[in-house]
Each structure stands twice: as C-alpha cells, then as structure tokens.
Amino acid sequence: MKKLLFVLLLAALQSAHAWDQTAPLDPARCQAHNPYGWAQTSKQVTAICRRAYFVAYDAAAKIPNYVTYTLTPPNALGCWPRTNAFVADASVPNGPRPDDYAGTGYDKGHAAPDGDLSWDQQVEYESFLMTNMYPQLGGLNRGIWKLLETSVRGWTVQQNQVYTIYVGAVYDTATDKKIGNGVVVPTGFYKIVINQATGAMAGWYFRHEGGQGNDLTRARAAVSAIENKAGVKFAYPANARELPIGQEWPVDFGALTNAKRQKCKSAD
C-alpha cells in the first residue's frame, strides 16, 4: 500500500511539472538578446532561441556554454509565480535531465533566472528547461549569485533602462567533474551586464564555491579577463565603457520588493 501511494505521489508531482514545450525559434529571432552581434566561442555549440533568452548549448558538456538575454523594466517585475517546472529540453537529443542532479549535492542553477522571466506563463516555464541550467553549489546559487540576479532586476527597474546580460561558465569537458549522465560541473561562473542606454557595463566572476559573502564588488572582474577564462568573445555597443569597481549602479532592494508587490497586487 505504501509503495502504491509513493507511485501515485510521484506521478502527481511529475504531472504538476508537465507543460507543453514549443519548438525553439529560428536563431535570427534572438537578435534582441544579442543586440550588438553574435558571440564567438571556442566550444562547439548549438543555438537554441527562446522567446526570452538565447542559449549557446554545449552538447558535449550538457550545459550552456553561455546564455544571453535582454531585460526591460516591465519584464523585470513579472508576476507569474515560480513553478519549479524543471524538465528536459525536448529539442535536444540525450540532453540533461532533472534526475542527473538528484543526490549530487548540486542545485539546478539557472543561467537566465526565473525571476527575470516571470512576465509570461510560457516564458516562466521555459526558464526551467534543463538547457538553461548549471550544476551549482547551493552556497553559491542561493547566495551571492542570487544577490547579483536580484541586483540586475533592481538596476533595470530603478534606472528605468534596458539591460543586456551575458551569463556563462568556465569549464573543461575533458577534465572537470561530471554528474548524472555526463553533465559537466563548471569551475566558475560569470555575468556581464550592459546598460543599453549608456553603454556602461560591468563583469563578475565567481569561483564555484559557497560562502562568498554578499559584497559584489569583490567578485568584479575585467570583461577581457572573463572572456579569456571562458574562451568566449562577446559583442558590445560602440559606446561601451566598463564601470570602475565600486561604481556599479545603485539598487534599493526594499523599493524593488515594494514595486513588484504593488504591480502584482494590481494584476490580481
């Protein structure tokens, strides 16, 4: 009887996370997420274009080589509740699955975060495709990495300007640890954030470790150094300029929370 109940519960949970996937868009449709041109990478990648983000997927590593997306002020205050609808990407043969992470001690860490993609139901679901995930230690994923994700939304809303974000990982498919059915565990992660209106940009690099505190200035890194580590060359606006360490855009987290609460309350 207990075994039957367990099977029924498991089926119910799987059903709760079931949703209809749509085929990826033509990569040309993702120009909005690559507004300055397409990146060049040393890895062999497959382009996957979704409505809200673009993935350069590394099939050999079963993780994104990098992800790009553009965030607008209205979309930074999305109101769709988090679903945790993790699912294998049906467009990728033999790709990563949620159960690759089971019992490994690693979170399924978003590249393009759910909080930035909660402005539409299908978009929110697509944030949980496993081709948008990295194995991340909880101390990083739920710590300073999350702080940077929230900061990006704060900058977008409080500057009332559009930002383009490049996010990716540093890894070696041949030598790095693997989990599940061959999912590579990166040794580091990065983000490069660009203000489209001013060309101001800043980069962050995080070692794959927990307990890195909450001082984002300590994780700042030169964009060129990030690109060298990752083996990726991104495109930037003609007026691009890197912000000095400590002169990043200001953010008021309380005001961000209140703005989201007010918008989503009026949307009920």
Domain count, the chain: 1
Q: Do residues 170 and 190 make contact, with C-beta atoms less than 8 angstroms apart?
A: yes
What is the torsional sign of CA 143, 68, 130, 260?
positive
| Domain containing residue 136: CATH number | 3.40.570.10
pLDDT in tens, 25-82: 999 999 999 999 999 999 999 999 999 999 999 999 999 999 999 999 999 999 999 9
Distance CA 226, CA 233 (A): 9
pLDDT in tens, 10-23: 344 444 456 899 99
pLDDT at 31: 98
| 199, amino acid identity | G
User: What is the enclosing helix (H) or strand (E) of 232?
Assistant: strand 232-233
* Strand 178-179 relative to strand 200-207, pairing: unpaired
pLDDT at 266: 80
Count of alpha carbons within 13 angstroms of residue 143, beta-carbon side? 18
Kindly tell me if the per-residue pLDDT of 3 is higher than 90: no
Distance CA 29, CA 117 (A): 17
Closest by Cα among 89, 123, 121 to 108: 89
Which residue segment(s) compose the domain that 137 sits in? Answer: 2-267
Judging by beta carbons within 10 Å of its beta carbon (0-12, 13-18, 19+), is residue 65 exposed, middle or buried?
buried
Kindly tell me if the per-residue pLDDT of 97 is higher than 60: yes
Structure tokens at 245: 């360490």
Count of alpha carbons within 13 angstroms of residue 203, beta-carbon side? 22
